[in-house]
Chain A
Amino acid sequence: MRLDPRTKMVMLFAVSTVLLLGGNGGAMFAVRTAMLLFPFGLLAISGRMHAAGLMLAAYLGSYALAAFAAPTLEGIANAITVATATVVSRFVPTLALAYFVFATTTVSEFMAAMGRMRIPDWIAIPLSVLFRFFPTLGQEARAINAAMRMRNITPISRGASYVENCLVPLMSCAVSIGEDLSAAALARGLGAPWPRTNTGSVGFALVDAVVIAVSLAATAALALSLAFPEAIAW
């Protein structure tokens, strides 16, 4: 199953809005639960069972923490727990879906979709670099993390300077990756004034229609519940 990149964008927008803003009442709870299927279900279907499982566990864990552990705590402990758990449970589904989108979209497909939407190159090209930039930076980050473990640099042993220790090598990597990527792309003719050919095959199928319909319906329900809280509150 392949989704059109444009479908993925609609879905990403719908999932992040609905799960971040939430809305109240039983109906919106049902809508939110349904929207959860997108990130975790799609990750699982695309063969990333491990990631789907981990992220679902993080979501359920933080959700349960907010629901059951928080009432038993008091004062600052309560505030910290509730704040952390809420933030995690609201962002994890969006992160999971973003991971799915980045992992399953090729640059060629993305550029083709951008072309169909008549998005100008100066927006499309910087966005398309991200598909390459983040995984590459991720590889570097893993190497840096290994080096830190080897030297026993942990948040406990280093305190506040831990963040600095992480960021210094990572920033220097990010700069050189960005420069090399741009040089390689420009040397191969990216940014020419004539229309770029896009060989990535994009197009809407039945599954795209279903996903878009569900996304739009969920966003509409959210808008409705925010505008008229009583209208659909059971």
Chain B
Amino acid sequence: MVKETKTESPVLFMSEASFSYAGGHSGAGVEGISLSLGKGEVALLCGSSGCGKTTVTRLANGLAPHFYEGTETGTVRVCGLDVAHAELWETARFVGSVFQNPKTQFYNVDVRGEVAFGCENLGFEPADIERRVDASAKEFNLTPLIDESLFSLSGGQKQRVACASAAATSPALVVLDEPSSNLDFEAIAQLRMAISRWKATGTAVLVAEHRIHYLEGIADYVLYLDNGRLARRWTADEFARLDDAERIRLGLRARSVDDAFRNSGCCSVPAMPYAQKAALGENVVRLENLTAHCRKNGVLEKTLEIASLELPVGSITALVGACGAGKSTFAEAVCGLNRCDGTVTLEGARLGKRARRRKCFMVMQDASHQLFSESVLDEVVLGMEGPDRQQRGLDILCDLDLDLFAEDHPLSLSGGQRQRVAIAQALATNRALVVYDEPTSGLDLFHMQQVAEGICRVCERGITQVVITHDPEFALSCCTHVAVMDRGRITEAYPLEESGISRLASFFRSEYHAGEDDPSIRKTPYSRQKE
């Protein structure tokens, strides 16, 4: 009898839950969160960066207040367990967690160990663990990778390992914190499959996310957080009926893949004039015979092979392609940072590897890797020459809206601001070609537009730019050209005018369907059940 009443009660129940961080630096607190999630229900948490989405997920898996210290009031229950007062390992029996950064959420070095990790901690029987690991690996299409090192996997594969590991303990609730940030469209489609499978098997799912399009048709509730409060909540139908102007006002990303292409004008920066301007220019940046090698298991493998690619001077090229296609290798080779051959012709000069390190610049995905100085101004002045360099440095900071932070320590800035400091470095040292490695991963609509505006401003100075991205909304908001990469080669390159937009749309759609139609995933018992 007691058991029956338990299954009737919600899996996740929050009532007037509030949390504020001690010291207040590790994230935004939340206030008065009430929600209830039953078996097989999926709730999507959305809202701008810093609105407290992550904190809600931490309340659900107990990391707040047990790991991130702070004060909590209200009630959070998972399957009747009072999360705030239970130990983390008690909560872990009911809640599986998937985090944003695939680099730092793993504890093991091999796939098998990682999938088994949760079960081992919970003290399951060895035979039971083996059965669970095999089942979970099969379900998430990891069987061929089970003995691989985690360090050799692509971002999408890593996120699948994280999901498989969460699923292996058969939790009642799975909590995902921005799981799609570093994923390409194919991997996102697979993530969608994973969540719909959980839904079908009665697991409750709580997802905090910016890129919400892949949850279309799966999320039962959409909760909108603003400044730590649940400002709006919609059912799936209500959310689908929400009009686009309202969605953009709330700072939400496209609700479906098609949406992203319908609203290409959503960004404040008009893309088309640039496209025309760039198309007129006769000067080009020419990349010739760009090849790079990488040592894999002791064998030298060719990871990049570009015979010839021309980028109009002053253009902004979106470099798209699946995870592991060689896009980051391309960025490194262009900047002369890895084991590579070939030349880049810039401003009439053919540059070898060494010379490129002075004329090309890469803005890294994690910009904190390229901040070395005590203050933002020092950071920009470092490498500049001439007596008036302080003044010129300040001018550049003004241009990028960073002048107020000139004396601050670079590491005290937000991620987006750090990125702009890196851009300022490129401007200060007169680079002619700037490459961005996924500058918008994990950004909300507003911050994405801000990055796009920054890139457009750099464009006005006649600097040629290449942006590696998995994000169609972003590509449409500022890019003038598109280059598609597959297995180390550029397979297509075209200007992003009207026909280009539809080509890009079909590229992303086919990538998405490749993930959905993966036969090894479709043949899992659960989807057969549904059929």
Q: Evaluate contact between A151 and B107: CB separation under 8 angstroms.
A: no
Known: A186-B88, A189-B122. A144 touches B113 (CB 8 A): no
Q: Evaluate contact between B62 and A187: CB separation under 8 angstroms.
A: yes
Q: Evaluate contact between B89 and A197: CB separation under 8 angstroms.
A: no
Contact of A192 among B61, B105, B123, B297 (CB under 8 A): B123
User: Is A48 in contact with chain B by the CB < 8 A criterion?
Assistant: yes
Which residues of B lie under 8 Å from residue A189 when comparing CB positions?
88-89, 92-93, 118, 121-122, 169
User: Is A165 in contact with chain B by the CB < 8 A criterion?
Assistant: yes
Q: Evaluate contact between B361 and A150: CB separation under 8 angstroms.
A: yes
Question: Interface of chain A, helix or strand or loop or mixed?
Answer: helix
Identify the stretch in A77-85, A169-177, A205-213, A223-231 within 8 Å (CB) of chain B at 4 or more residues. Answer: A169-177
Which residues of B lie under 8 Å from residue A196 when comparing CB positions?
120-121, 123
Q: Which of B82-103 contact A (CB under 8 A)?
A: 87-89, 91-93, 95-97, 99, 101, 103
Which residues of A lie under 8 Å from residue B99 when comparing CB positions?
180, 183-184
Q: Evaluate contact between A192 and B89: CB separation under 8 angstroms.
A: yes
Q: Evaluate contact between B411 and A187: CB separation under 8 angstroms.
A: no
Known: A186-B88, A188-B92, A188-B97. A197 touches B357 (CB 8 A): no
Which residues of B lie under 8 Å from residue A135 when comparing CB positions?
109, 151
Q: Evaluate contact between B120 and A199: CB separation under 8 angstroms.
A: yes
Which residues of A lie under 8 Å from residue B373 when comparing CB positions?
165
Q: For the complex, what is the distance from the CA of A140 to the CA of B99, rounded to whole Å?
A: 19
Q: Which of A137-181 contact B (CB under 8 A)?
A: 139-140, 143-144, 146-153, 164-165, 168-169, 172-173, 176-177, 180-181
Which residues of B lie under 8 Å from residue A150 when comparing CB positions?
335, 337, 357, 361-362, 370
Q: Which of A107-145 contact B (CB under 8 A)?
A: 107-108, 111, 128-129, 131-132, 135-136, 139-140, 143-144
Question: What total of chain A residues lie within 8 Å of the partner, measured CB to CB?
Answer: 55
Known: A151-B383, A184-B97. A139 touches B107 (CB 8 A): no
Identify the stretch in B2-10, B124-132, B478-486, B518-526 within 8 Å (CB) of chain A at 4 or more residues. Answer: B124-132
User: Is B366 in contact with chain A by the CB < 8 A criterion?
Assistant: yes
Q: Evaluate contact between B121 and A192: CB separation under 8 angstroms.
A: yes
Count of inter-chain pairs, beta carbons less than 8 A: 177
Q: Evaluate contact between B116 and A184: CB separation under 8 angstroms.
A: no
User: Is B403 in contact with chain A by the CB < 8 A criterion?
Assistant: no
Which residues of A lie under 8 Å from residue B117 when comparing CB positions?
107-108, 188, 190
> Interface digits, B352-379 against A, CB 8 Å rule (1 contact, 0 not)?
0000011001101010111111000000
User: Is B226 in contact with chain A by the CB < 8 A criterion?
Assistant: no
Which residues of A lie under 8 Å from residue B383 when comparing CB positions?
151-152
Q: Evaluate contact between A191 and B372: CB separation under 8 angstroms.
A: no
Which residues of A lie under 8 Å from residue B429 when comparing CB positions?
151
Q: Evaluate contact between B63 and A187: CB separation under 8 angstroms.
A: yes
Contact of B103 among A108, A136, A182, A194 (CB under 8 A): A136
Which residues of B lie under 8 Å from residue A17 when comparing CB positions?
none
> Interface digits, B270-306 against A, CB 8 Å rule (1 contact, 0 not)?
0000000000000000000000000101100000000
Q: Evaluate contact between A197 and B106: CB separation under 8 angstroms.
A: no
Q: Which of B41-62 contact A (CB under 8 A)?
A: 61-62
User: Is B108 in contact with chain A by the CB < 8 A criterion?
Assistant: yes
Q: For the complex, what is the distance from the CA of A164 to the CA of B122, rounded to whole Å?
A: 43
Known: A152-B383, A189-B88. A165 touches B298 (CB 8 A): no
Known: A185-B107, A190-B121, A195-B123. A146 touches B67 (CB 8 A): no
- Beyond the given pairs A108-B117, A150-B361, A180-B99, 20 more chain A to chain B contacts, judged by CB atoms under 8 angstroms and listed by A's residue number, are A49-B298, A50-B295, A106-B112, A136-B104, A146-B332, A146-B335, A146-B337, A149-B337, A149-B357, A151-B382, A168-B371, A169-B369, A169-B370, A173-B368, A177-B103, A192-B87, A195-B123, A197-B124, A199-B120, A200-B113
Instruction: List the 8 closest pairs (A to B, CB-CB), nearest first.
Output: A189-B92, A192-B89, A180-B104, A189-B121, A147-B370, A108-B113, A165-B372, A184-B105
Q: Can you give 30 contacting A-B residue pairs, CB < 8 Å?
A: A48-B298, A50-B295, A50-B298, A107-B110, A107-B113, A107-B117, A132-B106, A135-B109, A136-B104, A143-B364, A146-B335, A149-B357, A152-B357, A153-B382, A168-B371, A168-B411, A180-B105, A181-B104, A181-B105, A181-B107, A183-B68, A184-B107, A185-B107, A186-B88, A186-B89, A187-B63, A187-B88, A188-B97, A188-B107, A196-B121
